[in-house]
Structure 1
Amino acid sequence: MALTDRPLRGVLFDRDDTLVVDVPYNADPERVVPVAGAADAVAAARAAGLAVGVVTNQSAIAKGLATRDQVDATNARVDELVGPFDVWEVCPHDRGDDCACRKPRPGMVLSAAQRLGLDAADLVVIGDIGADVGAAVAAGAQGILVPTARTMPAEVEAATTVAGSIEEAVALVVARSVGATA
């Protein structure tokens, strides 16, 4: 399965289980461990001239398990180990808060696009669950699913584009980027 032929200008990554090993409700920068290949994938996207960002649900804030400052410090560690990223979008809400930003809703993708000066259709969201791809589609962007052990089979079946690794996902994006040659 492949992306559409539209030239792409940026990639937004999910944080947990896409860029870094998921530690539930992590608010400790010392517990940040990059996923294999994540730093290389982000570097490849940057080298191709793509804008790069992160869109991440962080309900630990709404649940009172972490402060925004703790989450920001954790994100800064991700930025240090895997980035740098041009933009970070964080949803601090819980599932029942009915916000516009929590994936699979499009708010974070749309906000990131605006902050990057791009149209959402110029972006791809790379993530490990259906909500990541759903947020992309809801915003008018494209999505690439990189399944992990917690990805449900139905999410894989529903995804238009599936990659075996973060490096493979970025290679698909780079091949469709504005600067790519045929």
Structure 2
Amino acid sequence: MKLIVLDRDGVINEHSDQFVKSPEEWIPIPGSLEAIAQLTQWGWRVVIATNQSAIGRGLIGMDTLNAIHETMLRRLAEVGGRIHAIFFCPHAEVENCACRKPKPGMLLEIGQRFGVDLSQVPVVGDGIRDMQAAVAAGCRPWLVLTGKGRKTLASGLLPENVTIAEDLAEVARRLTESP
């Protein structure tokens, strides 16, 4: 099984320092939905792993998060894309949970649920926490330069063996062109 894990904010949709708090604030990055459709059509199972501390901070409730995700799934379906599962950490950073990236908890759970060898799983993110979680879980980290990606690259804090791509569309092209 070909499995890819995507962060949400900054990879699929525009990043917001004030958090995405409504379906109306969920704005796809140009080409991201088509990239997921391309991956889907090439037999990849696409899974999201996203920190959603807006819940733990009391900025949104589960009903709002579900509405945001329903909007994303509907928009994806319109272009032939599919998300196979959405994993999220609802905790604020101060809660020190095992699932919040940069800890590998969400990724390890994804590996267990899907029964895959994580060493073959690309994890695509735009932040240092995404890269750290991918490395800690033994995955293949990919940094996209959308969202916080350029700032993350400029930080000089990237772990070794991170593959860099302009955006999710480039990731999809590279993964579907290689044997």
Percent identity reads: 32
User: Which residue number in structure 1 is paired with residue 42 of structure 2?
Assistant: 48
Structure 1 distance, partners of 2:175, 2:156, is 20
Shift of 1:95: 1.3
Would you say the 8 A contact 2:48–2:87 is kept in 1? yes
Shift of 1:14: 0.7
Q: When the two structures are aligned, how many residues end up with a matched partner?
A: 170
Aligned-residue offset at 1:33:
1.2
* Rounded Cα–Cα distance in structure 2 between residues aligned with 1:157 and 1:139: 15
Return the offset for 1:97: 1.2
In the other structure, the counterpart of 1:4 is none
Q: Does 1:73 align with 2:67?
A: yes
Q: Structure 2 residue aligned with 1:173, among 136, 155, 175?
A: 175
Q: Is the 8 A contact 1:124 1:173 kept in 2?
A: no
The structure 1 residue matched to 2:53, chosen from 26, 51, 59, is: 59
Q: CA deviation at 1:167?
A: 1.1
Note the residue ranges of structure 1 that are not aligned, 5 or more in a row: 1-7
1:103, 1:131 within 8 Å by CA — same for their partners in 2? yes
Residue 155 of structure 2 aligns to a residue in which SS?
helix
- TM-score, structure 2 length as denominator? 0.86
Cα offset, 1:174, TM superposition: 2.8
Instruction: Report the Cα distance in structure 2 between the residues aligned to 1:35 and 1:149, rounded to whole angstroms.
Output: 9
Deviation (angstroms), 1:154? 2.1
- Report if aligned partners of 2:46, 2:85 keep a CA contact under 8 Å in 1: yes
User: TM-score, normalized by length of structure 1?
Assistant: 0.84
Aligned twin of 1:20: 13
Aligned-pair RMSD on alpha carbons?
A: 1.9
**Per-residue CA distance 1:34-69 (angstroms, 9 max, x = gap):** 101111110111111111010100001111111122
Map residues 156-167 of structure 1 onto 2, 5 A cutoff.
158=159, 160-167=162-169
